[in-house]
Amino acid sequence: MELSRLVCAFLLAACCCCRRAAGVPGEAEQPEPELVEVEVGSTALLKCGPSRSQGNFSHVDWFSVHKEKPTLIFRVRQGQGQSEPGEYQHRLSLQDKGTTLALTHVTPHDERIFLCQGKRPRSQEHRIQLRVYSECPHLFCGQGGSWEVVVPRPSSFLSLVEAPEEPSIQVNPLGISVNSQEPEEVATCVGRNGYPIPQVIWYKNGRPLKEEKNRVHIQSSQIVESSGLYTLQSILKAQLVKEDKDAQFYCELNYRLPSGNHMKESREVTVPVFYPAEKVWLEVEPMGMLKEGDRVEIRCLADGNPPPHFSISKQNLSTKEMEEEITDDNGILVLEPAQKEHSGLYECQGLDLETTASLLSDQQELLVNYVSDVRVSPEAPESQEGSSLTLTCEAESNQALEFQWLREKTGKVLQKGPVLQLHNLKREAGGGYRCIASVPSVPGLNRTQLVNVAIFGSPWMTLKERKMWVKENTVLNLSCEASGHPRPTISWNVDGVASEHDQDPQSILSILNVLVTPELLESGAECVASNSLGKNTTIIFLELDSNRTTGLSTSTISPHARANSTSTEKKLPEPESKGVVIVAVTVCILVLAVLGAVLYFFYKKGKLPCGRSGKQEITLPPSRKSEFVVEVKSDKLPEEMGLLQGSNGDKRAPGDQGEKYIDLRH
């Protein structure tokens, strides 16, 4: 029995040795095949041995190994190649002096192991793993304008290569609490349409994350799409701390193409991190020095998320106790406008509704700078003409004050300091004076007070005389303005409806509405202003002119012209009155032109000799010498002469200046 077993073992060993000696491919211990990658449709170059091999390739057989079964596809004898019948018969050729076998028009079905075997000087084998890939988008490939979907089949080993799309990342919107006892979801990363399956790496603040027990967990899964591509989904779970509130997370997809290794990154995201507050404090806006009238906001802040419930309290100056203030819906205490009473100590209290822990802020002092109401003494200053007057300005503030006096009418600065002295007062000195109290260290903080100075005197009339062109039976408004101290009253000598308007504390304007009657045309109107120190009048002359329309004379006069002397009237005629004046001036010019032409005619005829003497006699024939005499007087220039009255009291023509006269003698 034992002899038969020994015989069997010997025969089996001899058989194996014979097979190995016979060179049957695939039976010896096989090394790792050489990897050759080639794209679909291109040519694969298969070298029989390493590139530095010095072997003899004059006698080589090439095999195609499919399902571990080798099939002879090509023979090389004495450097000449010959294809065996089959699927590779027309696609194989020799290159590089017989050391390289070229396989053209590579298809997905060509992905397999190819084996070359040399027989001289000794048996040699070299295995090549051909890997076929495609970089067509979503596996749509084609030739000659036709397109087809290339999908891997069980019988095909095609290595389809597709770069995944840009990874998308979605952060956990609910956030993570630092009090969580286990890792919670931070974000989800999705990489779509890739082949083969890419690898995902998570980063926090630029540093890669690795699995860490009870701290970091990465859960990945993949889905095969109908196109044969893969969609990868990776979920990052981690335990976070307060310092991670601003941490930036992102994912990276790593994949390999024949051109090398590549990667794509997602955008960075920040996950909400919830943690209890450890400190609360007060914040006041605006910053810097505050003043009365400002809008001031006081708010509480904390270093927790979410922030606790806040309340703001102010110290009562009487009891020294902190009393809660009323805030708006956002927990902000708004002081608008801020007053000096708002100054004091404030503090904030934060209550964590989850842990019921209470935190108090440090007390903070709020200072609202102020200037009190300005007081001027005397309150109603009055003085006589020629005398002096002193005005004093007073105010209080928590800061150093500066004072200055301005003339209200002109805005001119009269004096810096709280005291204003006025000397040798005149009536024009009456009116408004303004005192300004300001704080230089707080821009915009000031208060002012206006005071009116009254100068005793009888009424001053704006106009002494006025002339108005009117039409009979029309309604007319007559105006009269007067100033003085005490303030005067105005009366009229004609009947009508009068209304009074206060111009300032010492001035009054009266407007009388009257009907133009013959009696009013004859008597005119008189305005009388009076006070305890005297009275003054303004006379309004009314003249009837059928060619004129009723016009109201307006007068503007500066304060220094308001005296009891005669005032100059400034009338603004109506458009029709202007037309009449133009016509009159034109007629006068024509008359002067005619007169000048006559005189020039006599001069040219030699009948009007001129000389240096004041009198010249016109040369005439002897028979007419005694008929008339012309005398010329040039003592005064025409523009210096007024209109002269004739012997009968009538006015002369405008051209008659009283400088020349002609004596006619018969």
On whether both 347 and 393 belong to a single domain, the answer is: no
Strand partners of residue 204: 207, 249
- In-domain check, residue 658: no
Residue type (1 letter), 492:
W
On whether both 103 and 182 belong to a single domain, the answer is: no
Share of the chain above pLDDT 70, in %: 75
pLDDT digit string, tens, across residues 206-242: 999 999 998 999 999 999 888 778 899 999 999 999 9
3-state class of 151 per DSSP? coil
On whether both 174 and 244 belong to a single domain, the answer is: yes
Q: Residue 370 pLDDT more than 90?
A: yes
- In-domain check, residue 5: no
Q: Residue 406 pLDDT more than 80?
A: yes
- In-domain check, residue 585: no
Which is higher by pLDDT, 507 or 565? 507
E runs forming strands in 198-324 = 199-204, 207-208, 216-224, 230-238, 249-257, 260-265, 273-274, 280-285, 290-291, 296-302, 309-315, 322-324
The backbone torsions φ and ψ at residue 592, rounded to the nearest 5 degrees and listed phi first, read: -60, -35
Give the residue from 659, 622, 627, 653 showing the smallest Cα distance to 640.
659
On whether both 54 and 110 belong to a single domain, the answer is: yes
On whether both 52 and 125 belong to a single domain, the answer is: yes
Question: Which of 456, 490, 522 is the last residue before a domain boundary?
Answer: 456
Question: Which of 332, 348, 369 is the last residue before a domain boundary?
Answer: 369
Q: What is the pLDDT of residue 5?
A: 53
- In-domain check, residue 159: no
- In-domain check, residue 650: no
- In-domain check, residue 648: no
- In-domain check, residue 77: yes
Query: What's the rounded Cα separation, in Å, for the pair 3 and 8?
Result: 9
The number of folded domains in the chain is: 5
Give the residue from 69, 67, 71, 68 showing the smallest Cα distance to 87.
71
Q: With cut-offs at 50, 70 and 90, classify the pLDDT of residue 4.
A: low
Q: With cut-offs at 50, 70 and 90, classify the pLDDT of residue 319.
A: very high
On whether both 505 and 411 belong to a single domain, the answer is: no
pLDDT digit string, tens, across residues 408-461: 989 999 999 999 999 999 888 888 999 999 999 999 999 999 999 999 988 988
On whether both 288 and 357 belong to a single domain, the answer is: yes
The backbone torsions φ and ψ at residue 629, rounded to the nearest 5 degrees and listed phi first, read: -130, 135
Question: Which of 483, 510, 544 is the last residue before a domain boundary?
Answer: 544
Q: Which one of 63-67, 169-173, 545-549, 564-568 scores highest in mean pLDDT?
A: 169-173
Q: Residue 563 pLDDT more than 80?
A: no
Longest alpha-carbon distance in the chain: 206
If you compute the radius of gyration of the chain from its CA atoms, what whole number of angstroms results?
60
Range of the domain at 332: 280-369
Say what the pTM is: 0.52
Q: With cut-offs at 50, 70 and 90, classify the pLDDT of residue 125.
A: confident
Contacting residues for 497 by C-beta, under 8 A, at least 6 apart: 512, 513
On whether both 242 and 292 belong to a single domain, the answer is: no
Query: What's the rounded Cα separation, in Å, for the pair 300 and 146?
Result: 70
On whether both 451 and 476 belong to a single domain, the answer is: no
Please state whether the peptide bond connecting residue 337 to the residue before it is cis, i.e. omega within 30 degrees of 0.
Answer: yes
- In-domain check, residue 29: no
Say if CB 415 and CB 404 are below 8 A apart: yes
On whether both 46 and 125 belong to a single domain, the answer is: yes
- Lowest mean pLDDT across 18-32, 177-191, 241-255: 18-32
Say if CB 113 and CB 29 are below 8 A apart: no
On whether both 443 and 486 belong to a single domain, the answer is: no
pLDDT digit string, tens, across residues 39-56: 878 899 999 876 555 556
On whether both 99 and 69 belong to a single domain, the answer is: yes
CATH of the domain at 211: 2.60.40.10
